[in-house]
Amino acid sequence: MKKQPELTAQTKENLIQAFWSLYRQKKIEHITIHELTTKAGYHRSTFYEYFVDVYDVLDQLEDSLLEYMKEQVVSALEGGLNDDFIQKLADVYESKGDYLSTLLGENGDPDFAQKLKTIMRPALFAEFGLPENDIHTAYIFEFGMSAILGMVTHWYRRKKDIPSKDMVRLLRSMLLRGIGPEIREYSRRSLR
């Protein structure tokens, strides 16, 4: 008897969500298939219908998230590089922040940030008109993406303690003008 596609998709999603709830709490090397299948309410054999091992679950989850990020970045850039680009990244964090902050965090995949940069690089280089094999543009890209990912991750981990628009304004200002003006501004405010 052939399985129904909806049931198959739901089973796979349940396994992924069980994995995710464990991965948020501990490193992948401490997650067992037995623990994962028990949490999801399935037998080991069901797990092996969808995944090779727990690393395969992580890979599939990451691939899906990276594809989503790529779609969002490309759609944000369709209107040109404007004020909405950084806001769009903040919005992605609003919807996928739990995944992103975990994957970019201490228990996460150390390679995830690089994977994310790799999928964003072609669209951003094209939008800025930057040559992809120039050593200087590689450094510029690395600085900008590290700053954006670091700050948005920090904002999310702090439970979005400032409004999204304020965080985006601050990030944009520092990327365009450097951190000096912001340091002077907030230094003056603290003296009042």
pLDDT tens-digit map of 67-123: 988 888 777 777 655 556 677 777 777 788 788 888 888 778 888 989 988 988 888
pTM score: 0.79
Percent of the chain past pLDDT 90, that is, above it, reads 33
Asked whether the predicted pLDDT for residue 65 surpasses 60, the reply is yes
Higher pLDDT, 9 or 190: 9
In whole angstroms, what is the distance from residue 191 CA to residue 25 CA?
A: 41
Contacts of 170 (CB under 8 A, 6+ apart): 151, 162, 182
Torsion (CA) 123, 138, 155, 75 in degrees, nearest 10:
0
Which one-letter amino acid corresponds to residue 175?
L
- Helices assigned H by DSSP within 129-163: 135-157
**pLDDT computed for residue 45 by the predictor:** 95
162 phi and psi angles, rounded to 5 deg: -125, 155
**pLDDT computed for residue 79 by the predictor:** 62
User: What are the pLDDT digits (tens) for 168-177?
Assistant: 889 888 988 8
In whole angstroms, what is the distance from residue 43 CA to residue 15 CA?
A: 11
pLDDT band at 58 (very low <50, low <70, confident <90, very high): very high
